[in-house]
Each structure stands twice: as C-alpha cells, then as structure tokens.
Amino acid sequence: MLELKNITFTVDDNGGEKRIIRDLNLKIDNSRFVVITGPNGSGKSTLARIIMGIEAPTSGKIYFDGKDITDLSITERAKLGISFAFQQPVRFKGIKVHDLLRLSAGKELSVNEACSYLSEVGLCAKDYVNREVNSSLSGGELKRIEIATLLARRTKLSVFDEPEAGIDLWSFQNLIRIFENMQKDIKDSSIVIISHQERILRIADEIVLLADGEIKKQGSADEILPELIGTTAAVNACDKLM
C-alpha cells in the first residue's frame, strides 16, 4: 500500500513561495487501478514525481508497504518495487532495447523473452530488439518501449504520467489491455495513472480529482466520471468544474 500524509510541495516564485501541492493525503491500496485527473496545472505530474522520488516534498511523509520512504532515492524506491513511466520517455544513447529490457527485468533475458515484451506493446520485435534507444526512435516508439520495460520489471506499484501522450490510436487502444493484464499477472500490484482520457478513466477502480494542488473529489468511476464528462463531453471538461 502507498500512503501520502500531509504532502506539501512549494517552489520559489520570484522570491515568493508558490504551493503546487497543498497538505495532500492519499491512500492507494494493493490491487487497485487509480487514475489521477484534473485541470492543467493542478499538480498531477508533480504528485507522480513525488511518489517516485524525482521531487522531494517540502513537508509530509510517504509510506510504501508501511515503510517510510520519504527520504529514499529513486533507486531505493525502485528496489522496493515502484516503477515510473515519464510523459516524455528518456533516450539512452548507446544502449540497445534488449539491454534496456534486461536491466529493467534485473536478470538475463533471451532475445525471445525480450521480443515477447516488445510484441506485447505492438512493436515488431525483430525490428527493434537490437536498436539503440536514441533519437532515431519516434516519441511513440519510445513510449511503447518504456511501457515494455515496466512489463519486464513486474513491480508492485507502477506510476504512469499521461501514458497516452504522443502515441497512435492503435497503441492507445491496446494500453487498456496492457494495464488490465499487468494487474492480473502481478499479485497485489497497483497502477497509478495521470490521465484525462475517458477510456482510461472508465476502467479505473478509483478516480482522484486534483485541482489547485488539492484533492477535490475521490471515489469510484461510477461516482466521479459522470461529473467529469456530463452527458456528451470528453474529459477535458475537468477545467469547467473549478
């Protein structure tokens, strides 16, 4: 279980202090699919980076399976079983896709095993397994490869920051299947996704609506989604709620 207690995050704003996250409390139980949504600038991506340890909270505590991880590094959190997928995936010049998958899995992977992860995200494995993770890959290709690395890691908590960004329609349609399979295949695993997409919101066990750095609403998709989309609109209606 992940628990955030009284998390506040501030940044310097021309000599003043600007609060991005405001005294936030959130629990994510095991075996849950949680989507965090809200208007642009609400603090969603910042919250995701705080969970992974990319950003340190100004105040508050973070617990994972009962252990205080507030001061742990990204590497230490990864070893405990937390994965993170960036909105804009990182490029690794000189590292081949096969090597990246092997590092993610933490063990030797045969070419066939590496190819199975690539196939799962819709890439023709033979065309990608020996390619470098560099600028020759498109944003959509990098996004799929990054998701494949999370599949290889098989961690208890996977955090995705807008996984639909920059990918094609086919990939987006298959994201849903991938997320569902991740929870089935990994015991007690949970997924946290930052997203505005209605199709992702619809399959959530729980939706957290964030605005102005605070949780405004939290509940099941059946409870929260009708307020977000109304009768006809897409989820970009989030901005109109506040």
Residue 199, both tokens: 């199709």
Above pLDDT 70, what percent of the chain? 91
* Homologous superfamily of domain range 2-241: P-loop containing nucleotide triphosphate hydrolases (3.40.50.300)
Strand partners, 33: 191
Residue 55, pLDDT score: 95
pLDDT score of 60 more than 90? yes
Residue 132, pLDDT score: 87
pLDDT score of 232 more than 70? no
Residue 234, pLDDT score: 41
- Domains of the chain, by residue range, sit at 2-241
Name the pLDDT band for 233 (thresholds 50, 70, 90): very low
Question: Which one has a higher pLDDT value, 186 or 128?
Answer: 128
**31-35 mean pLDDT:** 92
Residue 237, pLDDT score: 43
- CB-based contacts of 223, cutoff 8 Å, min separation 6: 207
Name the pLDDT band for 168 (thresholds 50, 70, 90): low
**2-18 mean pLDDT:** 91
Say how many C-beta atoms besides its own lie within 10 A of residue 78's C-beta: 18
Say how many C-beta atoms besides its own lie within 10 A of residue 167's C-beta: 22
Name the pLDDT band for 167 (thresholds 50, 70, 90): low
**84-93 mean pLDDT:** 78
Instruction: Quick: pLDDT tens for 123-136.
Output: 887 888 888 888 88
